[in-house]
Every structure is written in C-alpha cells, then in structure tokens.
C-alpha cells in the first residue's frame, strides 16, 4: 500500500503552488490507528534516469521516485522522509545546492517548514521540507526537478 507518497506529494504541490491547505487530503488519527495510512518507511530506489548533477538531501529515506515523461520534457518527482527537523534539513540542502552553483530563489519559510526554488544553467529544483503530518515526527521532503527550459516555459 503506497498511500503516503501521494499524500506527501499532494501536500508539497499544494504548499509550493500557494494552494489551499484544505485541498490536500487530511489525515486523521483514526485513519492512522486503523491502518488506513501506511506508516512504514519502505524505501524505494532512486530512478536511474534521475540527473546525477542534482543531489538529494543527505540521509533522506526515499519513499517515491517518479519520472514523468511528457511530449517535450521529463519531470522528476522525489518524496521522502528525514529524521531531523524540517528547517535544519532544508537549510542543509540549500547550502549543498548553493555550493554546486544553484541560485536559491523564492524562499518561503516559517518556524517549522521551508520551501524554495533553486536553479543553475541546466536544472530547476523546487524543494519542500515540513513536519511529517502522518508520523508526527521527522520531516517530509518533496523535490521536483525539471530541465531549465521546461521550467521557464511550463
């Protein structure tokens, strides 16, 4: 049962796009207790097509690695879980991207979550780090990676 990656991705997309928080599926304690929500951390493999030039956060447990092939571009969607706090994980990932020449833009952070975009000459990265709403510990992470030309036109 792979309910969690879809829930995390919906949360990241809604938050990153400025969407209505109520549009994302809500998780209740009853759903978790009854087993309707999969709380396991069953890691998946990173897609072999994922661009090696774009790192993922250190110590991230990958829960989803999707490649979406369109007519003109490919989009890489990564979801995962990290044991540390969201701001700490997000800032560390920001620093790694900056060291690799990415310019960080559109940063939006609150006391417990961080969202930002980063771009170099080849790749656009949209990243979200927020307290895990299902496990109530650790951090849910969502990354979307798109070639720069596709991000500008899409």
4-33 tens-digit pLDDT: 333 333 333 334 444 444 444 555 545 445
Q: C-alpha angle with apex 90: 111 to 24, nearest 5 degrees? A: 70
Give how far Cα 69 sits from Cα of 46, 76, 101, Å: 16, 9, 26
Residue carrying structure tokens 């209505």: 20
pTM metric for this prediction: 0.72
pLDDT band at 74 (very low <50, low <70, confident <90, very high): very high
> How many Å apart are CA 144 and CA 10, to the nearest integer?
12
List the domain boundaries for the chain: 3-153
pLDDT digits 0-9 by tens, 26-68: 555 454 455 555 566 788 999 999 999 999 999 999 999 999 9
């Amino acid at each position: 049962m792979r309910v969690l990656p879809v829930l995390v991705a919906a949360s990241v997309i809604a938050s990153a796009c400025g969407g209505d928080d109520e549009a994302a599926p809500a998780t209740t304690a009853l759903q978790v207790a009854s087993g309707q929500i999969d709380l396991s951390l069953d890691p998946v493999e990173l897609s072999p097509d994922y661009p090696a030039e774009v790192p993922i956060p250190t110590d991230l447990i990958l829960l989803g690695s999707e490649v979406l092939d369109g007519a003109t571009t490919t989009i890489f969607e990564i979801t995962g879980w990290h044991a540390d706090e969201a701001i700490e994980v997000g800032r560390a990932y920001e620093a790694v991207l900056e060291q690799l020449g990415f310019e960080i833009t559109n940063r939006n952070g609150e006391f417990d979550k961080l969202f930002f975009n980063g771009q170099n000459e080849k790749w656009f990265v949209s990243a979200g780090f927020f307290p895990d709403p299902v496990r109530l510990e650790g951090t849910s992470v969502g990354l979307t990676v798109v070639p720069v030309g596709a991000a500008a036109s899409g």
